[in-house]
Amino acid sequence: MKVATVQMVSATGLQANLDRAGELLAQAAAAGAELAVLPEYFCLLGHRDKDKLGIREPFGDGPIQRFLSDAARRLDLWIVGGTLPLTIETGSPQDREQRVTNSSLAFGPDGACVRRYDKIHLFRFDNGKERFDESRVLLRGTEPATFSLPSRDGHTWTVGMSVCYDLRFPELYRGHARAGADLLLVPSAFTWTTGQAHWELLLRARAIENLAYVAAPAQGGLHENGRRTWGHSMVVDPWGEILCQRDEGDGVDVAEITHARLAQVRLQLPALEHRVL
């Protein structure tokens, strides 16, 4: 199965981002991809955290979800929509009014949404120069999520979902491994500082320790709001080898992943069978 990682340098306007995402998804389909994964915040990187509130949608309908559904159907493509802000339907009035979930949605080629994952771990970082605290606007999710993807070659892939900062919490991915995940998705918007230090190391570690493929599309470049993201979208195989990588700038990269390679690595080093704890 061919998997496409879509790297973007998202701007502060929703429609411009959707237009560019549509062009890149079309490139992925033309390259033969069956699955294309957009980066975190593909639809908006605003000037302020609260800009997310202005484009939030109820789960099940809205311009962003219709865009993803229509693109999947038109391109005959599985699409995982990076993340988008969804309204909070339950909880305190303050949460419903002032927060959203940072949600990753998987759409099948028929345009149906097959799985939703709300980002569990919320990023906080302060080195004296850069300060981030996603909990100011985001409400964290509570449940891991996987979905089944039947590929054209007759194999069915179990896909584990995650987002960006989740990457630093290996227990989430070990849970995916226990659930039989063959492919782990990590749509991200890593900062330049943290990405330069840890991005590749963490992605390769998650692939190696769980004997699974990892596909990690990212935001990558200098954004309209002045923020710089690390980029370096990549697909990593279960042995930790990088199959494709893009440094900065938007674009599409496609890698072929196979059940044969997965079986080979798991047979020669059956670490998942050796788990004790």
Instruction: Tell which residue, 45, 230, 53, 194, has the closest CA to residue 136.
Output: 53
Length of the chain: 277
CA 28 – CA 134 distance, rounded (Å): 30
Residue 40 among the catalytic residues: yes
Main-chain dihedrals φ then ψ at residue 101, nearest 5 degrees:
-95, 150
Residue 97 among the catalytic residues: no
Catalytic, out of 40, 57, 134, 248: 40
**Across the strands, what pairs with 78?**
35
Burial of 122 (0-12, 13-18, 19+ CB in 10 A): buried
Residue 256 among the catalytic residues: no
> From the CB of residue 262, how many other CB atoms can be counted at a distance below 10 Å?
19
Catalytic, out of 34, 43, 52, 119: 119
CA 70 – CA 214 distance, rounded (Å): 26
Catalytic, out of 57, 134, 164, 248: 164
Instruction: Tell which residue, 33, 111, 108, 32, has the closest CA to residue 67.
Output: 111
Q: Which residues are catalytic?
A: 40, 119, 164
